[in-house]
Structure 1
Amino acid sequence: MRGVFVAAGVALAVSILLTPYLIRFFARQGFGQEIRAEGPQSHQSKRGTPTMGGVAILVAIWVGYLLAHLVAEEDITASALLVLFLTTALGVVGFLDDFLKLRRRRNLGLNKTSKLVGQFVTSVIFGILALRFVNARGLSPASDNLSFVRDIAVLSFGALGFILFAYLVIAAWSNAVNLTDGLDGLAAGTAAMVLGTYVIIGFWQFRNSCALANLPGCYQVRDPLDVAFVAAAAMGGCIGFLWWNAAPARIFMGDTGSLALGGLIAGLSIVTHTELLLVVIGGVFVVEALSVALQIAVFRSTRRRLFRMAPFHHHFELAGWAETTVIIRFWLLAAMCAALGLGLFYSEWLNAPAGF
């Protein structure tokens, strides 16, 4: 447990102290956010706000994670390294996207094909390695079964199917977080709640792991404590960044942060065998992504808009809600989704059959 607190505390400190240096550096370089002309007019005043603040979150995650290991004296594991690889690689894809936007002075970075290729290559590497690193107990970081809280035995993908599934999950969540990052602090605050939930899930799986005690209801997952370290470091990094990203934002995380956090959340769900449960825990991200999909589908079929603007948070802005009101209410919804997901996780453990 000490390592979890160290990971979160160190990452929070690194993020909150590093971010103001990035603000000054990016401001001197002229790395200011470009705002879409078709977006809410109230957002035009944000033009020029430094972006790519996700760099601070990534650095904080790595520093918090590594220092937690020095204190806790635990081994670094394959599961955690794979999630960190996924996070960092997608952060690099997002960084390239942000950099091209700044260089072109337009809100257009990597084209869709380039971004999808980056997500695909990263996801395939993650998927292959997640099945290959098998420990002495015969467990790999991921399972080729679909999972809710545990593997659903009748829904097996096979190796190739799992790799495709991993790509779909990672692409979906990285894009969902990216779409949510449209208001000051909305994505960072929501991600912190999801990550906090995974700290609890990872630690609970560790305390009830079949490796410690092969009792009814124990979890057949690999490296849950180390996964909790990663989630704790990411949560701390998001909270520290939120100090500067909360309205009115001094810096934006950009695609550097949003793609990385989306990949991180997806990776955590895969290595903890909770892919379907994440749909509940990250309900706000799901709604934001669905609002865009529905807006496009309805407009193409009827030439009419379902919402005033998508993603969903802009709909409420155009309905007259203040930006801070939208943010706080979405945070409340995110907290309720996280609590519901955690409740479902715990209730499954209470009712787990003796055969597990």
Structure 2
Amino acid sequence: MRLILLAGALGLLGALVGTRLAIGVLVRKGYGQYVRDDGPKEHLKKAGTPTMGGIAIIGAVLVAYFVSHLVLWTPPTASGLLLLGLFTGLGIVGFLDDWIKISRARSLGLNSRAKLIGQAAVAIGFAYACLQFPDSRGNTPGSQMVSFLRDIQWLHLGPWLAMVWIIFIIAAFSNGVNLSDGLDGLASGLSTMVFAAFALVNFWQYSQWCSRLSTSGPQCYEVRDPLDLAAVSLALAGACFGFLWWNASPAKIFMGDSGSLALGGAVAGLAVLTRTELLAAILGGMFVLITLSVILQVSYFKLTGGKRLFKMAPLHHHFEMKGWAEQTVVIRFWIICGIFIAAGLGLFYAEWLAGAELAR
């Protein structure tokens, strides 16, 4: 428990201080955001706001994880290191995208092929590695099964299909968070809540961990390193919350792709490593809705020869174009995210409770 709380506190403090320092450096260097001229006109005033704030989030999480382990003299785990590797790797891809935008003074960074190759390379490496490193019970960090509240035994994919499934999850969530990063405080606020929810999931899995309980029953959780994953989850939540101090409207810094791709990768990694892949679609339901709005917009546009389903995609821009204030959209999306998280955590606990009742 001390590890979890220390990691969360260090993540929060690191992001609060680190983001302020990053703002000063980025302003001096003139590394500002370029804004699309086809979006809501209110966004034009945001041009020049420092971007690449995701670097501060990544740095805060890494420092929080390793310092907390050093202070408490506990070794890192395979699951924790793999999650941080995915998080940092996608952050580097996002950083390259942000850097090209800044250095070439345009609103577009890496071309779609280069960005896809970078994401794929990181995702493939993670997918392969998380099926290695079995513990004393034979549990690897990731699973070859599709999971909902835990592994679904009859949906065993085998190693190759499991890797494809994991890569798909990473692509879906990394791009989902990336699409959500369009309004001041939106992606950082949503991410804070989702990572806090995963911290609760991980801690409960640790309390009912098969490797920890003296008598393992059908309701205990066969996962690799739940306590360490809880520490990473709370470090992520703390870092996003600290970043939100500076990212809330009117934002003094944007996280950029260096932050949004990294955070999306972390959501996907937690889904895989906690055996809650389909549950993650509920906990991160707001990311799913925003991604679906883009898919529906593009599909409808092509099928109808140029008509639009929404005034603008992603979904948050649609409501802006309808006249909602930016802060109103953000707060209402936070509320919807909270409803999704309450539903997801309720399902997670209800499944354990029902199983415990049957076991009596």
Aligned to 1:330: 333
How many Å separate the matches in 2 of 1:342 and 1:67? 30
How many Å separate the matches in 2 of 1:115 and 1:70? 35
Aligned to 1:227: 229
Does 86-95 or 7-16 show the bigger shift? 7-16
Contact persistence 1:192–1:234 (CA under 8 A): yes
Question: 1:202: how far off?
Answer: 0.5
**Superposed counterparts of 1:299-310, under 5 Å:** 299-302=301-304, 303-310=306-313
Aligned residue identity for 1:350: L
What's the CA shift string for 1:40-86, capped at 9, x where partnerless? 10000000000000001001101111122234443210001000000
How many Å separate the matches in 2 of 1:156 and 1:119? 25
How many Å separate the matches in 2 of 1:13 and 1:133? 32
Contact persistence 1:192–1:239 (CA under 8 A): yes
Secondary structure of 2:127's counterpart equals helix
What's the CA shift string for 1:324-352, capped at 9, x where partnerless? 00000001111111111111100111122
How many Å separate the matches in 1 of 2:180 and 2:346? 24
Aligned to 1:95: 95
Contact persistence 1:3–1:71 (CA under 8 A): no
Aligned to 1:130: 130
Does 248-257 or 152-161 show the bigger shift? 152-161
Question: Aligned pairs, how many?
Answer: 355
Aligned residue identity for 1:318: M
Match of 2:353 among 350, 353, 356: 350
**Superposed counterparts of 1:138-287, under 5 Å:** 138-213=138-213, 214-287=216-289
Displacement over 6 Å in runs of 4+: none
Question: 1:310: how far off?
Answer: 0.3
Contact persistence 1:93–1:118 (CA under 8 A): yes
How many Å separate the matches in 1 of 2:154 and 2:297? 35
Q: CA RMSD in A?
A: 1.0
Secondary structure of 2:36's counterpart equals coil
Match of 2:291 among 289, 297, 306: 289
Secondary structure of 1:154's counterpart equals strand
Contact persistence 1:119–1:167 (CA under 8 A): no
How many Å separate the matches in 2 of 1:320 and 1:199? 36
Secondary structure of 2:307's counterpart equals coil
How many Å separate the matches in 2 of 1:258 and 1:28? 23
How many Å separate the matches in 1 of 2:64 and 2:17? 13
Aligned to 1:39: 39
What's the CA shift string for 1:270-316, capped at 9, x where partnerless? 00000000110001000000000000000111121000100000011
Aligned to 2:106: 106
What's the CA shift string for 1:99-122, capped at 9, x where partnerless? 000111111100111111111111
Secondary structure of 1:153's counterpart equals strand
Of all paired residues, the percent bearing the same amino acid is 50
What's the CA shift string for 1:156-190, capped at 9, x where partnerless? 11111111111110011000000000000100000
Aligned residue identity for 1:175: N
How many Å separate the matches in 1 of 2:143 and 2:334? 32
Contact persistence 1:14–1:60 (CA under 8 A): yes
How many Å separate the matches in 2 of 1:146 and 1:256? 29
Does 173-182 or 161-170 show the bigger shift? 161-170
What's the CA shift string for 1:82-139, capped at 9, x where partnerless? 0000000000000000000011111110011111111111111101110111112111
How many Å separate the matches in 1 of 2:175 and 2:8? 25
Question: 1:2: how far off?
Answer: 1.4
User: What TM-score results when the alignment is normalised by the length of structure 1?
Assistant: 0.98
